[in-house]
Amino acid sequence: MGRILRKLAIVMCVMLAVSLPSLAVDLDTANVLIESKQLANIEAVIADLTSYLADNPEDGHANWVIAKAYLYLGDRVSEDVLETFQKGKEYADRAVELVPTSPDAFFWQASLIGCIGQTRGILQSLFMVRPMKDALDRALELDENYADAYHVLSMLYEQAPGFPLSIGNKKLALETARKAVELAPDNIEYPIQLARALNHNNRRSEAVEVLEELLSRPAIEQDLELKAEAEELLAEWKR
């Protein structure tokens, strides 16, 4: 499903309060409900997929979808956050084993590694940087146009310490952020990371322009979390 159609489907799901269908045959709907960012939807997906996987543990696609759901859940709960991300990674690890040619499986494995690292703190998580990057690299080997992988790679290059401690790299952070935007110009999440990468490269005026352009898009009104993040950064950088 295209990103625009997926956004429309999210709006329809929320407005109509549809019940979750049988996820055994409709994992696309599960993805839509996860991306609604509504806690009840995410929890419903996890409950249904947990039940489904009890009888179908070899479904690699379902394993990476539930891994994704746990990542979104971990971002929205205040208790047992680390355990939530770790549970999601268990499913992602399983997905990688079951569908080793799926870039999605490797992407969500990498993303959950990153979430676990952020939750633990950088000094306790430097050893996780390499496996995270390896998983992202593998996703891009399987699909060289996987925009989400470039987006998360940019975050990794921006946030990790530089040489000799780790792989942090200002230039690569900006290159990969630009690549993600180039591949998916309508995505409203990618410009925020592009702005961060620009600011990381001491190009704050350009970063401000990126955020101002983003906030002028009607689509940003559909995701109030991203809008608030962009507005907070913009206010900080324009002081």
pLDDT tens profile 198-230: 999 999 999 999 999 999 999 999 999 999 999
- Distance between CA atoms of 93 and 193, rounded to whole angstroms? 26
- Residue 197's pLDDT band, with cuts at 50, 70 and 90, is very high
Do the beta carbons of residue 99 and residue 61 sit within 8 Å? yes
Sign of CA dihedral 40, 108, 81, 167: negative
Classified by CATH at the fold level, domain 158-239 comes out as 1.25.40
pLDDT of residue 10: 43
Mean pLDDT (the chain) is 90
- Residue 124's pLDDT band, with cuts at 50, 70 and 90, is low
- Residue 127's pLDDT band, with cuts at 50, 70 and 90, is confident
DSSP tag of 219: G
Give the list of residues 6+ apart from residue 42 with CB closer than 8 angstroms, or none.
Answer: 33, 34, 69, 72, 73, 76
pLDDT of residue 1: 42
Q: What is the pTM for the complete model shown? A: 0.87
